[in-house]
């Protein structure tokens, strides 16, 4: 399901009515920080870790 221009505008207007301009800016900032943190954690998980191999111990 894709959102059209009308639906996006309606969501923005409802968010402004519910939260107000000041709170909406704070919510947007928190959401952006959360997404940034999530992306950095996903990138860290993709990196191979330096774990000793069981064959090296023998």
pTM for the predicted model, two decimal places: 0.49
**Residue 49, SS3?**
coil
**DSSP for the chain, written as a single string:** ----HHHHHHHHHHHHHHHHHHHHHHHHHHHHHHHHHHHHHHHHHHSPP----HHHH-
Least confident of 9-13, 26-30, 44-48, 49-53: 49-53
Question: Any idea where the domains of the chain sit in the sequence?
Answer: 1-43
Task: For the domain made up of 1-43, give the CATH fold.
Answer: 1.20.5
Q: What's residue 52's pLDDT?
A: 60
Q: What's residue 3's pLDDT?
A: 80
| 8-36 pLDDT, tens digit each | 899 988 988 888 888 888 888 999 999 99
In the predicted structure, residue 56 carries a pLDDT above the cut 60: no
Cα distances (angstroms) measured from residue 36 to each of 19, 22, 27: 23, 22, 14
**Mean per-residue pLDDT, 44-49:** 69
């Amino acid at each position: 399901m894709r959102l059209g221009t009308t639906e996006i505008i309606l969501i923005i207007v409802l968010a402004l009515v519910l939260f107000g301009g000041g709170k909406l800016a704070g919510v947007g900032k928190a959401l952006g920080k959360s997404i940034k943190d999530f992306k950095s954690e996903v990138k860290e998980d993709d990196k191979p870790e330096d774990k000793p191999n069981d064959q090296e111990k023998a």
